[in-house]
Structures are given as C-alpha cells and as structure tokens.
Amino acid sequence: MSSIDDTQPRALEVTPPHGIPPVDVEAAESGGPGCALWGVVGVVGLVLAVVIVVLAGAAGWTAGQRQAQSFATATQQAEIQDQINRIPEDVANGNTVLLSARLQFLATQTPGVPGLAEWMATATAVYMNNLPTTTPQPTATTEVMATALPTMTPGFEPQADSSSGYDLAGMLDQARTAVNLGQYEDAVDLLQVIEAVDSSYQAATVRGLMLEALTTQALRLFRGGGNLAEAILLTDEAEKYGLPADSDLRYERYVAALYLTAKSKIGTDYGAAIQALSEAYSVAPNYREGELRSLLFGQYVAYGDAWVAEGNPCSAVPQYQNALNILNDGGVAAKRDNAETTCQQGTPVPGPEGQQIAPVGVPDTSGG
C-alpha cells in the first residue's frame, strides 16, 4: 500500500545543464557590502578630501613666501646700493660720522658686500687725514700755551657727548635743519646715527623727525618716478615710527609692489607677466603715466608673435585681440587678421605630425 506522501504532487527537481554549477541563492543574497564597509569608504574619502585641501593651501602659502622673499631681497639690494652710492660724497666731504654709520650698516649685511674692505681702508684714511697735525713749536711758544691752558673759561662745555664722543645735540640740530630744507636723506642718516649712539636721547623728537623725513622722501620717490624699491623700504621703516593706518603711502606701496613684481616677470614667462601686469593694471591703470598699459599691451603682442613664430597662428589671434582691447594699433590689427586667415586655412605647423610647440614660458598643451 502506498503512503499518503506517495500520492502528493512533487516539485520537479531542476537539474542545471551540464557544466554549469548550481547557484547558491542564499549565499548570493548575503554577500553584499555591509554598513561597516560603506562607513570605512566614507571616512577614507573624507580624509583624502581634507588632505587635498591642506596640500592646496600649503602650495599657495609656499608660493606667497617665495614671492615675498624675492621682493625682500630686491629691496635689501636697493638699500645696499643706495648706501654705497653715498659713500664717495661722504669721503669728499670728510664726513666721518655718516661714513662710519654707512660702513657699519654694510658690514651687517649677508652675504658680504663686495668692496667693503676697500671702503673700510678709505674711511680709515679719511679719519687719519682729519686728525689735527702737530707742528713743532719753539720752546717759548710751548711754555706760553702751557700757561694758557689753565685760564680756560670755567663755564665752557665741550660739544661732544661725554659718554659717546658724539655731538648728539649738534647732530639733532643738523637733522632738523635738513628736514626744513627738504634734505630728507641727510636727515635720516643723521637721525639713524643718533639712535645708534643713544636710543634714549630726545627720543620723541628724533622719532617725530624720522617719521616726517621717511614719509616725505618715500612719497617723493613714489610719485616722482624715483626708485620704487627704495620708496617701499622707506615706507616699511616709517611703520616702525608710527605711520598712520590711513596714510597714502600704504596704497602707494601696494601698487608699487605689484608693478615691480610684474616687471620682474617680463622676459621670462609670458603668462605670468600678463597675469601680474593685469592685476596691477586693474588697480591703477594710469600708474606712472600709463606705463602699465604700455607694458601689458606689449606683452600681449609679444605673446602673439611667439605663437606665430612657433607655427600656431590660432593661439596668436586672441593675444593680438587682447592687445587691441587695450590700445588700438593698426600694425597689431594686421597681425591679428593675418593670423586668423592662416588659422582658417589650416596651414601645417612645425614638428612631427603637426605637433604644436609652445613658446618659452608657456605650458605645452598639445598632449605630446
């Protein structure tokens, strides 16, 4: 007799085709990534994002530091050269006080200033020449002088400071007179000597005269077409003596720094030069009687010429057009039109398989 189970319908057992292993449904359903794995992936992504931001910030900071260091070196060299240029005048005038102050400043500079040893020898010779010479005197004259010395006026006061050997009061009067006469460089030199000898001597007066001399001379250089690096250095020095926050010198220094940075890029990298000139031009388009405009115009034209010389007229067209946006020039317009025509004709360019060669200072974007 058959059991009840034998009479029930049975599900057909499906056998996979030969050569195909059976699929474990439960294993497949349970094999997906869990929450923990996705959490780890998210944390790793966040860490990478933070690292990228930090590295980008560090790169920007480093570039800024390099630019600041380059500018500081330029201003230091300008000050060193200025002091060297003044030494011959001090020698000719026999001014041993200013000559000594300048040489002491140069001796502290790193790296060493070339020719300093020779100037030191010259200063020593000037000092020796200024010493009073003793002339042999008859015995009678010597006796008269010996008897006359004790009769000096009791109220006589020597001009030189008893502790330093410098006539600080006289030097301060000279500095004040120099400021009144507009001789600001001489005034600064004298005041610096006073501070070096005795920083507490008439400190308020010395600082006030120093601020006036520094700011006036710096403004004269900024607006009179003088040495901008020296003017920036004088402005930095004026800050130590209380330069007001709203002083025009701060703006003048900012524009001058942009200008000097831009000029330093010319001839080395078209892209960097144009970027720096554009930044300065956007702030002060008429700076130095339009010199920034002329420089920027010239760099755009030179950039276009470089592209044409390298056989890439298509890249030259926008550079010529940028130049024309600044100044309307018939010659540049003709260059643009010729480059545009050559570009449309598809003239072959130099290099293997027409590879484009970027001008010097321009990244190669050809993909080669």
What's the confidence (pLDDT) of residue 311? Answer: 93
Residue 71 is predicted with a pLDDT of: 59
pLDDT of residue 308: 95
Give the pLDDT of residue 148: 41
Residue type, 368: G
For residue 68, what pLDDT is reported? Answer: 55
Q: How many CA atoms lie within 13 A of 74 on its CB side?
A: 18
Tokens 């460089």 correspond to 185
- CA separation for the pair 155, 173 (Å, rounded): 22
The whole-number pLDDT of residue 203 equals 93
Tokens encoding 297: 């115009």
pLDDT at 113: 75
Residue 144 confidence (pLDDT): 40
The ranges of the chain with pLDDT < 50 are: 1-2, 11-12, 14, 17, 19-20, 23-30, 131, 133-136, 139-162, 351-358, 360-368
- The pTM of the full predicted model, rounded to 2 decimals, is 0.53
3-class DSSP string for 248-317: HHHHHHHHHHHHHHHHHHCCCCHHHHHHHHHHHHHHCCCHHHHHHHHHHHHHHHHHHHHHHHCCCHHHHH
DSSP 8-class letter at 352: G
Tokens of 212: 């006036």
CATH number, domain 262-368: 1.25.40
Every domain of the chain and the residues it spans: 262-368
What is the pLDDT at residue 127? 56
DSSP 159: S
pLDDT for res 354: 40
- Which residue blocks in the chain are alpha helix, DSSP H? 4-7, 25-29, 35-93, 96-107, 116-130, 139-148, 168-180, 184-197, 203-223, 228-239, 248-265, 270-283, 287-309, 313-326, 330-345
